[in-house]
Structure 1
């Protein structure tokens, strides 16, 4: 039996928050952003509609739009069933978007209107939405600078080469440009799936996302030990940040997942952590390292609260500097089509993501099979996983020295 519910994205927020529609069917769930926003104080969670109050005079129109969403999802679900098509999350979402966007709106939809609508209604994570907005901004700047029309039919190879050249002239790095191109392809794919776009030149193999292997650091076991043993008893702020960072280094969890680790996630006498990850929804089971166990005991089973990513990055650099993580590191990056090199102290390059990278690299150096590590990191392919591994030429030689081939 299919069912529809409406929930707030952030029910305890003091600001307006998105309303999601959840449609459950055949033991599956479609999560759809209605694009509607409301202050939680005006929301009736029992009726799953806006409260009928003078303080929110638009409640009638607001609730009508939610009614229309509910009616639309029921219609498309019934249509698929009647046509003997097995409903899936993908085809339901596609048909729902068509149902909510009538033919006249589809015909009048421009590329920039579509991107705006996609950003407004997507249920993607905040970082993904941020990347969408950055790609949108670059497209807007490009259109203005080139004084040219830019719509679906204009996203072709000529655009690709000129847009890439424009970004190179603006001194964007290769990987930044790759991100913009990747999201333009996302916009075009979404528009194509919804029947709005007919131009498929963006699928040409030459319309490609070009990336370079980014220089990034990892922390060795010795460096992690120095950070872990650093006396921060007189600085609670850095002490808690250090402890959370260490947990990341020995679990491989993203920082977006660490805040969801509770006592219930520690299983088998606290020897393993079992957690459903936020980004992929996959379940991981991770052996508990002795440092993690000690931190777990230190906080009586409640890990330190995560703070904003930006503050975490700033604070962990402070911690690493105090721990004397100061080797010089040479970083290379391509900007404006030219390869640039710069020297940094290692602690200056450490961020929250260094934890996950350190976890993968240290296990790899310990001869743990890649496929075993991938079970924890969640990488689907060894190619994607190997991007995480950070070995110098010397470390690679050290790893090989005991191989039978060299003995």
Structure 2
């Protein structure tokens, strides 16, 4: 089964777009956070400050449990994800409810994501779940993060689940083989 995801260019288009309404900007920010953490809608919705801790490398990480599989998940915070967190740290709804983001219902988020895709000229049926797929493919696997690490960050209980993402990365295979080809040519 093909898992839809956004390309690097599409992520950039969404990131750079300033929307006329605060609600669309907010949905965009929360969606991008998920693109750079791989967290599912329900897991982002329940994140609080207590989920942000210092990881093994001394940087900030998310420590949480996936609701769907009840597995422990630890994800280092990439710069874009940190940027989104900072944007909302003093948001009244976040402060009052002890959450990191003012997340709307999944139905509303998906409805607004379709609007965002349309405004950005992205011809895909964008839903919040695209963020997990985008994290797996565009953000991690296509940048050389080993599948075992991606599987762990996604909270998958079986690496076969993660391998679905790897199947669609022919571009990554092509790039990796080009590097190998160059190494082999330069050794002769």
Residue of structure 1 aligned with 2:53, choices 267, 272, 281: 267
Residue of structure 2 aligned with 1:252, choices 9, 24, 38: 38
The change in CA–CA distance for 1:368 and 1:297 in structure 2 (over 3 A counts) is same
* TM-score, with length taken from structure 1: 0.39
Instruction: Give, in angstroms, the shift of residue 270 of structure 1.
Output: 6.7
* TM-score, with length taken from structure 2: 0.80
The change in CA–CA distance for 1:369 and 1:270 in structure 2 (over 3 A counts) is closer
What is the DSSP-based 3-state SS (H/G/I as helix, E as strand, rest coil) of the residue aligned with 1:267?
Answer: strand
Instruction: Give, in angstroms, the shift of residue 398 of structure 1.
Output: 3.1
The change in CA–CA distance for 1:220 and 1:406 in structure 2 (over 3 A counts) is farther
Residue of structure 2 aligned with 1:324, choices 121, 139, 152: 121
What are structure 1's unaligned runs of at least 5 residues? 1-212, 326-344
Question: For residues 171 and 74 of structure 2, what CA distance do their matches in structure 1 show?
Answer: 32
Alignment of 1:220-259 (within 5 A): 220-232=7-19, 234-259=20-45
Match of 1:300 in 2: 89
Match of 1:177 in 2: none
Match of 1:219 in 2: 6
Instruction: Give, in angstroms, the shift of residue 321 of structure 1.
Output: 2.2
What is the DSSP-based 3-state SS (H/G/I as helix, E as strand, rest coil) of the residue aligned with 1:402?
Answer: helix
Question: For residues 177 and 141 of structure 2, what CA distance do their matches in structure 1 show?
Answer: 12
Of Structure 1 and Structure 2, which has the larger fraction of its residues in helix?
2
Looking at CA atoms only, which structure, 1 or 2, has the larger radius of gyration? 1
Of Structure 1 and Structure 2, which has the larger fraction of its residues in strand?
1
Q: Does 1:313 align with 2:102?
A: no
Match of 2:66 in 1: 277
**More relative contact order, 1 or 2 (CA 8 Å, 6+ apart):** 2
Match of 1:387 in 2: 164
Aligned-residue RMSD, C-alpha: 2.3
What is the DSSP-based 3-state SS (H/G/I as helix, E as strand, rest coil) of the residue aligned with 2:121?
Answer: coil
What is the DSSP-based 3-state SS (H/G/I as helix, E as strand, rest coil) of the residue aligned with 1:352?
Answer: coil
Q: Does 1:361 align with 2:137?
A: yes
What are structure 2's unaligned runs of at least 5 residues? 95-99
* Conserved? CA contact 1:247–1:291, under 8 Å: yes
The change in CA–CA distance for 1:216 and 1:264 in structure 2 (over 3 A counts) is same
Question: For residues 177 and 113 of structure 2, what CA distance do their matches in structure 1 show?
Answer: 32
Instruction: Give, in angstroms, the shift of residue 285 of structure 1.
Output: 1.2
Match of 2:76 in 1: 287
Report Cα offsets for 1:165-220 as digits up to 9, x if no partner. Answer: xxxxxxxxxxxxxxxxxxxxxxxxxxxxxxxxxxxxxxxxxxxxxxxx2x332112
* Conserved? CA contact 1:217–1:390, under 8 Å: no
Report Cα offsets for 1:117-144 as digits up to 9, x if no partner. Answer: xxxxxxxxxxxxxxxxxxxxxxxxxxxx
Match of 2:177 in 1: 400
What is the DSSP-based 3-state SS (H/G/I as helix, E as strand, rest coil) of the residue aligned with 1:272?
Answer: strand
